[in-house]
Amino acid sequence: METVNNKRAAGILMPISSLPSPYGIGTMGKEARNFADFLKKSGQKIWQILPVGPTSYGDSPYQSFSTYAGNPYFIDLEALWEEGLLKKSLIEYFNWGEHENYVDYERIYKCRFVVLEDACARFFGNKNNPEKDAYESFCEKNKDWLEDYALFMSVKAEFENKAWTEWDDEEIRLRKPEALAKYRVKCADKILFWKFVQFKFYQQWEKFRGYVNYLGIKILGDMPIYVAMDSADTWANPDVFWLDEEGKPVRVAGCPPDYFSAKGQLWGNPLYNWDYLKETGYEWWIKRVKAATELFDITRIDHFRAFDTYYAIPYPAEDAVNGEWLNGPGIEFFEKLKAELGDPEIVAEDLGSLADSVYVLLEKSGYPGMRVFEFAFDGDDQNGYLPHNYCENCVAYTGTHDNDTLRGWFEKEPALTLGRIYSECYPDKVPEIEEEPEETSEEKKPEEEKEEIDLEKLTAEELEEYNKKLEEEEKKKERDRRLTIKYKQDAKLAEDLKLSDEEILDMILTALYNSKANTVIIQLQDILWLGSEARMNTPSTLGDNWKWRASREYLTDEIAERLMNYAKNSNRI
Protein backbone atom coordinates (compact mmCIF):
# COMPACT_ATOMS: atom_id res chain seq x y z
CA MET A 1 0.00 0.00 0.00
CA GLU A 2 1.21 3.49 -0.82
CA THR A 3 1.62 5.46 2.39
CA VAL A 4 3.13 8.72 3.58
CA ASN A 5 6.11 6.61 4.65
CA ASN A 6 7.14 5.16 1.29
CA LYS A 7 5.69 7.04 -1.71
CA ARG A 8 6.38 10.55 -2.98
CA ALA A 9 3.26 12.69 -2.94
CA ALA A 10 2.05 16.26 -2.62
CA GLY A 11 -1.00 17.78 -0.99
CA ILE A 12 -2.69 20.95 0.22
CA LEU A 13 -3.67 22.00 3.74
CA MET A 14 -7.19 23.39 3.49
CA PRO A 15 -9.56 23.30 6.51
CA ILE A 16 -13.18 22.43 5.73
CA SER A 17 -14.21 25.63 7.51
CA SER A 18 -12.19 27.63 4.95
CA LEU A 19 -14.07 26.38 1.90
CA PRO A 20 -16.29 28.88 0.04
CA SER A 21 -19.95 28.77 1.05
CA PRO A 22 -23.01 31.05 0.96
CA TYR A 23 -23.79 29.97 4.53
CA GLY A 24 -20.89 31.55 6.43
CA ILE A 25 -18.56 28.57 6.76
CA GLY A 26 -17.29 25.71 4.61
CA THR A 27 -19.27 22.47 4.57
CA MET A 28 -19.10 18.95 3.13
CA GLY A 29 -21.23 19.97 0.17
CA LYS A 30 -20.68 21.08 -3.41
CA GLU A 31 -17.67 23.33 -2.70
CA ALA A 32 -15.88 20.45 -0.94
CA ARG A 33 -16.31 18.34 -4.07
CA ASN A 34 -15.14 21.26 -6.20
CA PHE A 35 -11.98 21.56 -4.12
CA ALA A 36 -11.36 17.82 -4.47
CA ASP A 37 -11.67 18.26 -8.26
CA PHE A 38 -9.11 21.07 -8.04
CA LEU A 39 -6.72 18.80 -6.14
CA LYS A 40 -7.08 16.12 -8.79
CA LYS A 41 -6.44 18.65 -11.56
CA SER A 42 -3.38 19.89 -9.65
CA GLY A 43 -1.72 16.48 -9.29
CA GLN A 44 -2.26 16.46 -5.52
CA LYS A 45 -2.75 13.16 -3.68
CA ILE A 46 -3.49 14.44 -0.17
CA TRP A 47 -6.05 16.84 1.29
CA GLN A 48 -5.02 17.79 4.82
CA ILE A 49 -7.70 19.25 7.08
CA LEU A 50 -7.88 20.47 10.68
CA PRO A 51 -9.84 18.62 13.40
CA VAL A 52 -13.53 18.19 12.52
CA GLY A 53 -15.04 18.02 16.02
CA PRO A 54 -17.67 20.46 17.33
CA THR A 55 -15.87 23.62 18.42
CA SER A 56 -16.42 25.20 21.83
CA TYR A 57 -15.46 28.57 23.29
CA GLY A 58 -12.79 30.35 21.24
CA ASP A 59 -13.86 28.41 18.12
CA SER A 60 -10.66 26.38 18.13
CA PRO A 61 -10.90 22.95 16.48
CA TYR A 62 -8.41 21.82 19.12
CA GLN A 63 -10.93 22.50 21.92
CA SER A 64 -13.92 20.32 21.13
CA PHE A 65 -16.96 19.10 23.06
CA SER A 66 -16.17 15.58 21.83
CA THR A 67 -13.30 13.68 20.30
CA TYR A 68 -15.77 11.53 18.34
CA ALA A 69 -18.57 13.89 17.29
CA GLY A 70 -18.54 15.86 14.05
CA ASN A 71 -18.91 19.63 13.75
CA PRO A 72 -22.57 20.60 13.08
CA TYR A 73 -21.33 23.64 11.15
CA PHE A 74 -19.89 21.34 8.45
CA ILE A 75 -23.28 19.77 7.62
CA ASP A 76 -24.33 20.90 4.15
CA LEU A 77 -27.69 22.69 4.40
CA GLU A 78 -28.44 22.37 0.70
CA ALA A 79 -28.22 18.59 1.01
CA LEU A 80 -30.82 18.73 3.81
CA TRP A 81 -33.01 20.88 1.55
CA GLU A 82 -32.67 18.34 -1.27
CA GLU A 83 -33.79 15.62 1.16
CA GLY A 84 -36.89 17.62 2.04
CA LEU A 85 -35.73 18.30 5.61
CA LEU A 86 -35.43 22.08 5.12
CA LYS A 87 -37.22 24.79 3.23
CA LYS A 88 -35.00 26.96 1.06
CA SER A 89 -36.76 30.05 2.39
CA LEU A 90 -35.63 29.26 5.94
CA ILE A 91 -31.99 28.85 4.89
CA GLU A 92 -32.06 32.09 2.95
CA TYR A 93 -33.85 33.96 5.72
CA PHE A 94 -30.69 34.22 7.83
CA ASN A 95 -27.72 36.52 7.32
CA TRP A 96 -24.78 34.12 7.53
CA GLY A 97 -22.05 36.78 7.49
CA GLU A 98 -20.93 40.00 5.85
CA HIS A 99 -17.50 38.93 4.57
CA GLU A 100 -16.89 35.98 2.27
CA ASN A 101 -13.28 35.59 3.48
CA TYR A 102 -13.98 35.35 7.21
CA VAL A 103 -16.18 33.18 9.41
CA ASP A 104 -18.53 35.06 11.77
CA TYR A 105 -18.79 32.36 14.44
CA GLU A 106 -21.19 34.27 16.66
CA ARG A 107 -23.67 34.73 13.84
CA ILE A 108 -23.38 31.11 12.71
CA TYR A 109 -23.93 29.88 16.27
CA LYS A 110 -27.16 31.85 16.48
CA CYS A 111 -28.46 30.70 13.08
CA ARG A 112 -27.17 27.20 12.43
CA PHE A 113 -28.89 25.37 15.27
CA VAL A 114 -32.26 26.98 14.54
CA VAL A 115 -32.06 25.55 11.03
CA LEU A 116 -30.86 22.13 12.20
CA GLU A 117 -33.64 21.93 14.79
CA ASP A 118 -36.17 22.53 12.03
CA ALA A 119 -34.61 19.72 9.98
CA CYS A 120 -34.67 17.45 13.02
CA ALA A 121 -38.38 18.11 13.61
CA ARG A 122 -39.16 17.20 10.00
CA PHE A 123 -37.00 14.07 10.22
CA PHE A 124 -38.76 12.65 13.27
CA GLY A 125 -42.16 14.03 12.21
CA ASN A 126 -42.18 11.84 9.12
CA LYS A 127 -43.92 8.59 10.09
CA ASN A 128 -42.78 6.97 6.85
CA ASN A 129 -39.19 8.12 7.21
CA PRO A 130 -37.10 6.01 4.77
CA GLU A 131 -33.97 6.61 6.88
CA LYS A 132 -35.43 5.30 10.13
CA ASP A 133 -33.48 2.03 9.99
CA ALA A 134 -30.25 3.79 8.97
CA TYR A 135 -30.62 6.21 11.89
CA GLU A 136 -31.22 3.43 14.41
CA SER A 137 -28.30 1.43 13.03
CA PHE A 138 -26.03 4.48 13.35
CA CYS A 139 -27.08 5.04 16.98
CA GLU A 140 -26.49 1.41 17.86
CA LYS A 141 -23.09 1.27 16.16
CA ASN A 142 -21.87 4.44 17.91
CA LYS A 143 -23.62 4.10 21.27
CA ASP A 144 -20.35 3.90 23.22
CA TRP A 145 -19.75 7.61 22.65
CA LEU A 146 -23.00 8.92 21.18
CA GLU A 147 -25.17 8.33 24.27
CA ASP A 148 -22.78 10.27 26.52
CA TYR A 149 -22.26 13.05 23.99
CA ALA A 150 -25.99 13.60 23.33
CA LEU A 151 -26.74 13.62 27.05
CA PHE A 152 -23.78 15.91 27.78
CA MET A 153 -24.87 18.51 25.21
CA SER A 154 -28.49 18.31 26.39
CA VAL A 155 -27.69 18.75 30.08
CA LYS A 156 -25.26 21.52 29.17
CA ALA A 157 -28.17 23.44 27.61
CA GLU A 158 -30.18 22.93 30.82
CA PHE A 159 -27.45 24.80 32.72
CA GLU A 160 -27.14 27.73 30.29
CA ASN A 161 -24.21 26.09 28.47
CA LYS A 162 -21.91 26.34 31.48
CA ALA A 163 -18.89 24.04 31.67
CA TRP A 164 -19.88 20.72 33.25
CA THR A 165 -17.66 21.45 36.26
CA GLU A 166 -19.99 24.40 36.98
CA TRP A 167 -23.34 22.60 36.68
CA ASP A 168 -25.50 23.41 39.68
CA ASP A 169 -26.66 19.81 40.13
CA GLU A 170 -23.77 17.90 41.73
CA GLU A 171 -25.49 14.56 41.14
CA ILE A 172 -25.41 14.86 37.34
CA ARG A 173 -22.02 16.57 37.45
CA LEU A 174 -20.58 13.48 39.11
CA ARG A 175 -22.71 11.12 36.97
CA LYS A 176 -24.73 9.48 39.74
CA PRO A 177 -26.92 6.73 38.19
CA GLU A 178 -30.19 8.23 39.43
CA ALA A 179 -29.29 11.62 37.99
CA LEU A 180 -28.31 10.11 34.62
CA ALA A 181 -31.69 8.37 34.41
CA LYS A 182 -33.54 11.53 35.45
CA TYR A 183 -31.92 13.75 32.82
CA ARG A 184 -32.32 11.16 30.05
CA VAL A 185 -36.06 11.53 30.56
CA LYS A 186 -36.04 15.28 31.13
CA CYS A 187 -33.86 15.99 28.06
CA ALA A 188 -35.30 13.33 25.75
CA ASP A 189 -36.11 15.73 22.89
CA LYS A 190 -32.72 17.44 23.04
CA ILE A 191 -30.98 14.06 23.11
CA LEU A 192 -32.81 13.10 19.91
CA PHE A 193 -31.66 16.35 18.31
CA TRP A 194 -27.98 15.79 19.05
CA LYS A 195 -28.16 12.20 17.80
CA PHE A 196 -29.84 13.40 14.60
CA VAL A 197 -27.10 16.00 14.04
CA GLN A 198 -24.40 13.34 14.33
CA PHE A 199 -26.32 10.96 12.07
CA LYS A 200 -26.41 13.62 9.36
CA PHE A 201 -22.78 14.62 9.87
CA TYR A 202 -21.51 11.06 9.47
CA GLN A 203 -23.87 10.37 6.59
CA GLN A 204 -22.55 13.38 4.70
CA TRP A 205 -18.97 12.60 5.71
CA GLU A 206 -19.14 9.15 4.13
CA LYS A 207 -20.33 10.66 0.84
CA PHE A 208 -17.69 13.40 1.02
CA ARG A 209 -14.83 11.04 1.79
CA GLY A 210 -16.09 8.56 -0.80
CA TYR A 211 -15.91 11.22 -3.51
CA VAL A 212 -12.43 12.37 -2.46
CA ASN A 213 -11.13 8.79 -2.37
CA TYR A 214 -12.74 8.04 -5.74
CA LEU A 215 -10.49 10.74 -7.22
CA GLY A 216 -7.43 8.97 -5.79
CA ILE A 217 -6.95 11.51 -3.02
CA LYS A 218 -6.42 10.70 0.66
CA ILE A 219 -7.76 12.76 3.55
CA LEU A 220 -5.12 13.57 6.15
CA GLY A 221 -7.06 14.34 9.31
CA ASP A 222 -5.87 15.90 12.54
CA MET A 223 -6.27 14.35 15.97
CA PRO A 224 -5.45 16.65 18.92
CA ILE A 225 -3.55 14.71 21.55
CA TYR A 226 -5.61 16.26 24.34
CA VAL A 227 -9.36 16.64 24.78
CA ALA A 228 -11.09 19.71 26.19
CA MET A 229 -11.84 19.90 29.91
CA ASP A 230 -15.40 20.88 29.04
CA SER A 231 -16.14 17.84 26.90
CA ALA A 232 -18.24 14.71 26.96
CA ASP A 233 -14.97 12.73 26.96
CA THR A 234 -13.75 14.17 30.27
CA TRP A 235 -17.19 14.18 31.91
CA ALA A 236 -17.93 10.56 30.95
CA ASN A 237 -14.41 9.15 31.57
CA PRO A 238 -12.98 10.88 34.67
CA ASP A 239 -10.66 7.93 35.47
CA VAL A 240 -8.82 8.48 32.19
CA PHE A 241 -7.73 11.97 33.27
CA TRP A 242 -5.65 13.52 36.05
CA LEU A 243 -8.52 15.00 38.07
CA ASP A 244 -9.17 15.51 41.76
CA GLU A 245 -12.16 14.14 43.71
CA GLU A 246 -14.34 17.06 42.61
CA GLY A 247 -13.55 16.47 38.97
CA LYS A 248 -11.21 19.43 38.62
CA PRO A 249 -7.80 19.09 36.95
CA VAL A 250 -4.69 18.70 39.08
CA ARG A 251 -2.37 19.69 36.23
CA VAL A 252 -3.19 20.96 32.74
CA ALA A 253 -1.51 20.81 29.35
CA GLY A 254 0.51 23.41 27.49
CA CYS A 255 3.94 24.26 26.16
CA PRO A 256 6.86 26.07 27.79
CA PRO A 257 8.07 29.40 26.40
CA ASP A 258 9.21 28.92 22.79
CA TYR A 259 9.26 30.35 19.26
CA PHE A 260 5.52 31.04 19.41
CA SER A 261 5.13 32.62 22.86
CA ALA A 262 7.44 34.16 25.47
CA LYS A 263 5.20 32.92 28.32
CA GLY A 264 4.50 29.57 26.75
CA GLN A 265 1.10 28.24 25.76
CA LEU A 266 -1.49 27.49 28.45
CA TRP A 267 -3.89 25.15 26.68
CA GLY A 268 -5.80 24.19 29.82
CA ASN A 269 -6.64 20.64 28.70
CA PRO A 270 -6.72 17.95 31.38
CA LEU A 271 -3.73 15.63 31.35
CA TYR A 272 -4.03 11.85 31.16
CA ASN A 273 -3.83 9.40 34.01
CA TRP A 274 -1.28 7.24 32.24
CA ASP A 275 -1.07 4.77 35.14
CA TYR A 276 -4.78 4.00 34.78
CA LEU A 277 -4.51 3.83 31.01
CA LYS A 278 -1.64 1.37 31.22
CA GLU A 279 -3.57 -0.82 33.69
CA THR A 280 -6.49 -0.95 31.25
CA GLY A 281 -4.32 -1.79 28.24
CA TYR A 282 -4.68 1.73 26.84
CA GLU A 283 -8.21 0.72 25.80
CA TRP A 284 -9.61 4.29 25.78
CA TRP A 285 -6.78 5.58 23.60
CA ILE A 286 -6.89 2.63 21.20
CA LYS A 287 -10.63 3.17 20.65
CA ARG A 288 -9.92 6.82 19.95
CA VAL A 289 -7.22 6.13 17.38
CA LYS A 290 -9.39 3.45 15.78
CA ALA A 291 -12.21 5.98 15.35
CA ALA A 292 -9.80 8.48 13.77
CA THR A 293 -8.45 5.90 11.32
CA GLU A 294 -12.02 5.05 10.31
CA LEU A 295 -12.75 8.74 9.68
CA PHE A 296 -9.49 9.63 7.88
CA ASP A 297 -7.11 7.87 5.51
CA ILE A 298 -4.08 9.31 7.32
CA THR A 299 -4.10 10.67 10.87
CA ARG A 300 -1.83 13.43 12.12
CA ILE A 301 -1.30 13.14 15.87
CA ASP A 302 -0.83 16.60 17.28
CA HIS A 303 1.90 17.15 19.91
CA PHE A 304 3.43 13.70 19.46
CA ARG A 305 6.21 14.54 21.90
CA ALA A 306 3.79 14.16 24.85
CA PHE A 307 3.94 10.39 24.43
CA ASP A 308 7.60 10.70 25.45
CA THR A 309 7.47 13.58 27.93
CA TYR A 310 4.64 16.04 28.49
CA TYR A 311 4.49 19.49 30.03
CA ALA A 312 2.38 19.64 33.20
CA ILE A 313 1.24 23.02 34.51
CA PRO A 314 -0.20 23.29 38.05
CA TYR A 315 -3.90 24.20 38.01
CA PRO A 316 -4.97 26.99 38.15
CA ALA A 317 -2.36 29.11 36.35
CA GLU A 318 -2.20 32.35 34.39
CA ASP A 319 0.52 31.23 31.98
CA ALA A 320 2.71 28.24 31.18
CA VAL A 321 5.96 29.40 32.76
CA ASN A 322 5.90 27.21 35.88
CA GLY A 323 5.24 23.78 34.40
CA GLU A 324 7.47 20.72 34.49
CA TRP A 325 8.22 17.80 32.15
CA LEU A 326 6.87 14.38 33.13
CA ASN A 327 7.27 10.99 31.46
CA GLY A 328 4.65 9.73 29.02
CA PRO A 329 3.92 6.09 28.08
CA GLY A 330 6.70 5.87 25.47
CA ILE A 331 7.03 3.14 22.84
CA GLU A 332 4.96 0.68 24.90
CA PHE A 333 1.80 2.53 23.88
CA PHE A 334 2.57 2.38 20.16
CA GLU A 335 3.51 -1.30 20.36
CA LYS A 336 0.12 -1.95 21.95
CA LEU A 337 -1.59 0.24 19.35
CA LYS A 338 -0.03 -1.65 16.44
CA ALA A 339 -0.84 -4.99 18.05
CA GLU A 340 -4.51 -3.99 18.21
CA LEU A 341 -4.94 -1.96 15.00
CA GLY A 342 -2.18 -3.15 12.68
CA ASP A 343 -0.12 -0.28 11.28
CA PRO A 344 -2.43 2.68 10.62
CA GLU A 345 -1.06 5.59 8.59
CA ILE A 346 0.03 8.22 11.11
CA VAL A 347 1.98 11.47 10.86
CA ALA A 348 3.68 12.64 14.05
CA GLU A 349 3.68 16.37 14.80
CA ASP A 350 7.18 16.66 16.25
CA LEU A 351 7.76 20.42 16.09
CA GLY A 352 9.43 22.58 18.70
CA SER A 353 12.47 22.18 20.90
CA LEU A 354 12.64 18.45 21.57
CA ALA A 355 14.67 16.18 23.81
CA ASP A 356 16.74 13.47 22.13
CA SER A 357 14.39 10.88 23.61
CA VAL A 358 11.53 12.21 21.45
CA TYR A 359 13.54 11.56 18.29
CA VAL A 360 14.35 8.07 19.54
CA LEU A 361 10.64 7.41 20.11
CA LEU A 362 9.76 8.76 16.68
CA GLU A 363 12.35 6.53 15.02
CA LYS A 364 11.12 3.47 16.90
CA SER A 365 7.53 4.20 15.93
CA GLY A 366 8.46 4.50 12.26
CA TYR A 367 6.07 7.42 11.76
CA PRO A 368 7.08 10.37 9.57
CA GLY A 369 7.68 13.64 11.40
CA MET A 370 7.22 17.20 10.13
CA ARG A 371 9.56 19.78 8.64
CA VAL A 372 8.51 23.43 8.45
CA PHE A 373 10.27 25.75 6.01
CA GLU A 374 9.56 28.87 8.08
CA PHE A 375 11.64 27.42 10.95
CA ALA A 376 14.69 26.88 8.75
CA PHE A 377 16.49 30.20 8.97
CA ASP A 378 17.42 30.80 12.59
CA GLY A 379 20.70 28.91 12.61
CA ASP A 380 23.43 27.54 10.35
CA ASP A 381 23.24 25.13 7.43
CA GLN A 382 22.76 22.20 9.83
CA ASN A 383 19.23 23.36 10.69
CA GLY A 384 16.97 20.32 10.25
CA TYR A 385 14.18 22.39 8.71
CA LEU A 386 16.29 23.43 5.70
CA PRO A 387 15.11 21.47 2.64
CA HIS A 388 18.55 20.06 1.87
CA ASN A 389 18.53 18.38 5.30
CA TYR A 390 15.17 16.60 4.92
CA CYS A 391 15.05 12.82 5.15
CA GLU A 392 12.63 10.73 3.10
CA ASN A 393 10.41 9.75 6.02
CA CYS A 394 8.96 13.18 6.74
CA VAL A 395 6.22 15.57 5.66
CA ALA A 396 7.48 18.97 4.51
CA TYR A 397 5.44 22.15 4.92
CA THR A 398 5.90 25.83 4.13
CA GLY A 399 4.08 26.49 7.41
CA THR A 400 1.30 25.03 9.55
CA HIS A 401 -1.97 26.52 10.79
CA ASP A 402 0.00 27.99 13.73
CA ASN A 403 2.43 29.87 11.48
CA ASP A 404 2.04 33.16 9.71
CA THR A 405 1.41 32.73 6.01
CA LEU A 406 4.53 32.37 3.89
CA ARG A 407 4.16 35.91 2.57
CA GLY A 408 3.41 37.33 6.03
CA TRP A 409 6.50 35.61 7.42
CA PHE A 410 8.67 36.79 4.53
CA GLU A 411 7.55 40.40 4.83
CA LYS A 412 8.59 40.57 8.49
CA GLU A 413 12.26 40.55 7.40
CA PRO A 414 12.25 40.44 3.58
CA ALA A 415 15.80 41.46 2.66
CA LEU A 416 17.88 39.09 4.78
CA THR A 417 15.33 36.29 4.52
CA LEU A 418 15.43 36.51 0.73
CA GLY A 419 19.19 36.06 0.83
CA ARG A 420 18.87 33.04 3.10
CA ILE A 421 16.15 31.49 0.96
CA TYR A 422 18.06 32.08 -2.26
CA SER A 423 21.26 30.56 -0.90
CA GLU A 424 19.30 27.49 0.24
CA CYS A 425 17.55 27.05 -3.08
CA TYR A 426 20.52 27.91 -5.31
CA PRO A 427 23.69 27.06 -3.33
CA ASP A 428 25.83 27.08 -6.52
CA LYS A 429 25.00 30.78 -7.05
CA VAL A 430 26.02 31.97 -3.59
CA PRO A 431 28.81 34.60 -3.76
CA GLU A 432 32.17 33.82 -2.21
CA ILE A 433 32.97 35.82 0.91
CA GLU A 434 36.57 36.29 1.94
CA GLU A 435 37.23 35.57 5.58
CA GLU A 436 38.69 38.44 7.51
CA PRO A 437 42.30 37.82 8.60
CA GLU A 438 42.78 36.79 12.18
CA GLU A 439 43.53 39.61 14.57
CA THR A 440 47.15 40.22 15.42
CA SER A 441 48.28 39.91 18.99
CA GLU A 442 48.17 43.72 19.28
CA GLU A 443 44.56 43.89 17.97
CA LYS A 444 43.18 41.09 20.07
CA LYS A 445 41.13 42.08 23.06
CA PRO A 446 42.50 40.74 26.30
CA GLU A 447 40.71 37.51 27.22
CA GLU A 448 39.45 36.82 30.69
CA GLU A 449 42.06 35.00 32.70
CA LYS A 450 41.27 31.30 32.87
CA GLU A 451 42.07 29.22 35.86
CA GLU A 452 45.03 26.99 35.11
CA ILE A 453 44.20 23.31 35.42
CA ASP A 454 46.74 20.67 36.29
CA LEU A 455 45.61 17.86 34.02
CA GLU A 456 47.73 15.29 35.83
CA LYS A 457 45.65 15.76 38.99
CA LEU A 458 42.34 15.08 37.25
CA THR A 459 40.58 11.75 37.56
CA ALA A 460 39.70 9.86 34.38
CA GLU A 461 36.10 11.11 34.58
CA GLU A 462 37.19 14.72 35.18
CA LEU A 463 39.65 14.55 32.30
CA GLU A 464 36.94 13.19 30.00
CA GLU A 465 34.61 16.02 31.06
CA TYR A 466 37.39 18.59 30.53
CA ASN A 467 38.14 17.32 27.02
CA LYS A 468 34.46 17.27 26.19
CA LYS A 469 34.15 20.90 27.25
CA LEU A 470 37.12 21.90 25.08
CA GLU A 471 35.59 20.07 22.12
CA GLU A 472 32.28 21.88 22.60
CA GLU A 473 34.06 25.24 22.75
CA GLU A 474 35.85 24.49 19.48
CA LYS A 475 32.58 23.42 17.84
CA LYS A 476 30.96 26.65 18.97
CA LYS A 477 33.85 28.69 17.56
CA GLU A 478 33.55 26.89 14.23
CA ARG A 479 29.77 27.32 14.20
CA ASP A 480 30.10 31.04 14.94
CA ARG A 481 32.65 31.37 12.14
CA ARG A 482 30.33 29.66 9.65
CA LEU A 483 27.39 31.79 10.80
CA THR A 484 29.39 34.98 10.28
CA ILE A 485 30.27 33.96 6.73
CA LYS A 486 26.69 32.85 6.09
CA TYR A 487 25.29 36.13 7.38
CA LYS A 488 27.58 38.13 5.09
CA GLN A 489 26.72 35.94 2.10
CA ASP A 490 23.00 36.35 2.72
CA ALA A 491 23.30 40.08 3.27
CA LYS A 492 25.25 40.50 0.02
CA LEU A 493 22.67 38.41 -1.85
CA ALA A 494 19.83 40.45 -0.42
CA GLU A 495 21.44 43.66 -1.68
CA ASP A 496 21.77 42.35 -5.23
CA LEU A 497 18.60 40.28 -5.73
CA LYS A 498 15.64 41.70 -7.55
CA LEU A 499 12.93 39.03 -7.57
CA SER A 500 9.18 39.34 -8.07
CA ASP A 501 6.70 37.80 -5.61
CA GLU A 502 5.98 35.07 -8.14
CA GLU A 503 9.69 34.23 -8.46
CA ILE A 504 10.11 34.10 -4.67
CA LEU A 505 7.15 31.73 -4.28
CA ASP A 506 8.37 29.56 -7.15
CA MET A 507 11.82 29.35 -5.59
CA ILE A 508 10.40 28.15 -2.26
CA LEU A 509 7.89 25.66 -3.67
CA THR A 510 10.51 24.22 -6.02
CA ALA A 511 12.88 23.66 -3.08
CA LEU A 512 10.21 21.82 -1.08
CA TYR A 513 8.86 19.75 -3.96
CA ASN A 514 12.38 18.74 -5.02
CA SER A 515 13.47 17.79 -1.50
CA LYS A 516 13.89 14.20 -0.31
CA ALA A 517 10.70 14.41 1.80
CA ASN A 518 8.25 11.73 0.69
CA THR A 519 5.34 14.11 1.26
CA VAL A 520 5.03 17.86 0.69
CA ILE A 521 1.97 19.76 1.90
CA ILE A 522 1.43 23.47 1.25
CA GLN A 523 -1.18 25.70 2.87
CA LEU A 524 -3.57 27.07 0.26
CA GLN A 525 -2.86 30.58 1.56
CA ASP A 526 0.81 30.08 0.72
CA ILE A 527 0.09 28.81 -2.79
CA LEU A 528 -1.95 31.99 -3.28
CA TRP A 529 0.82 34.16 -1.71
CA LEU A 530 -1.66 35.75 0.71
CA GLY A 531 -0.48 37.96 3.55
CA SER A 532 -0.97 37.84 7.33
CA GLU A 533 -4.65 38.68 6.93
CA ALA A 534 -5.10 35.04 5.85
CA ARG A 535 -3.29 33.55 8.86
CA MET A 536 -5.34 30.76 10.43
CA ASN A 537 -4.14 30.92 14.03
CA THR A 538 -1.80 32.89 16.27
CA PRO A 539 -1.08 30.72 19.34
CA SER A 540 -1.88 32.12 22.79
CA THR A 541 -4.30 34.69 21.37
CA LEU A 542 -8.10 34.80 21.24
CA GLY A 543 -10.75 36.44 19.12
CA ASP A 544 -9.26 36.55 15.64
CA ASN A 545 -8.35 32.96 14.86
CA TRP A 546 -9.79 30.12 12.75
CA LYS A 547 -11.72 32.59 10.58
CA TRP A 548 -10.03 32.68 7.17
CA ARG A 549 -11.99 31.44 4.16
CA ALA A 550 -11.13 31.13 0.49
CA SER A 551 -13.02 32.78 -2.35
CA ARG A 552 -14.23 30.69 -5.28
CA GLU A 553 -12.15 32.64 -7.78
CA TYR A 554 -8.91 31.66 -5.99
CA LEU A 555 -8.87 28.16 -7.49
CA THR A 556 -7.91 28.90 -11.07
CA ASP A 557 -6.79 26.60 -13.87
CA GLU A 558 -3.51 28.51 -13.97
CA ILE A 559 -2.73 27.62 -10.34
CA ALA A 560 -3.77 24.01 -10.93
CA GLU A 561 -1.41 23.78 -13.91
CA ARG A 562 1.46 25.28 -11.92
CA LEU A 563 0.97 22.78 -9.08
CA MET A 564 0.71 19.92 -11.55
CA ASN A 565 4.07 20.94 -13.03
CA TYR A 566 5.69 21.01 -9.58
CA ALA A 567 4.32 17.52 -8.89
CA LYS A 568 5.44 16.11 -12.24
CA ASN A 569 8.91 17.64 -12.10
CA SER A 570 9.53 16.24 -8.61
CA ASN A 571 8.12 12.77 -9.34
CA ARG A 572 5.12 13.20 -7.03
CA ILE A 573 2.40 12.09 -9.46
Q: How many whole angstroms separate alpha carbon 220 and alpha carbon 289? A: 14
**Cα–Cα dist 402/302, whole Å:** 12
Cβ–Cβ < 8 Å for 20, 100: yes
Asked whether the beta carbons of 280 and 274 are under 8 A apart, the reply is no
544 catalytic per annotation: no
Point out the catalytic residue in the list 118, 319, 381, 402: 402
Strand ranges of the sheet holding 46-48, from the earlier edge strand across to the other edge: 346-348, 298-301, 218-223, 46-48, 9-13, 519-523, 394-397, 369-372
Beta strands in 216-365 (DSSP E): 218-223, 251-255, 265-270, 298-301, 309-314, 324-327, 346-348
Q: Using CA atoms, how far apart are residues 147 and 143, in angstroms rounded to an integer?
A: 5
Residue from 131, 147, 302, 319 carrying the catalytic annotation:
302
Beta strand segments in 297-452, E: 298-301, 309-314, 324-327, 346-348, 369-372, 394-397
Q: Which of 402, 288, 404 is nearest to 346 (CA)?
A: 288
Active site residue 558: no
Could you tell me where the DSSP H helices lie in 385-500?
406-412, 414-425, 460-496
List the catalytic residue out of 345, 349, 350, 404.
349
Phi then psi dihedrals of residue 146, to 5 deg: -65, -40
Rounded CA gap, 268 and 254, in Å? 7
Q: Is 402 annotated in the active site?
A: yes
115: Cβ–Cβ under 8 A, 6 or more apart, which residues?
77, 86, 90, 91, 94
> What is the sign of the dihedral through the CA atoms of 19, 20, 23 and 25?
positive
Active site residues: 302, 349, 402
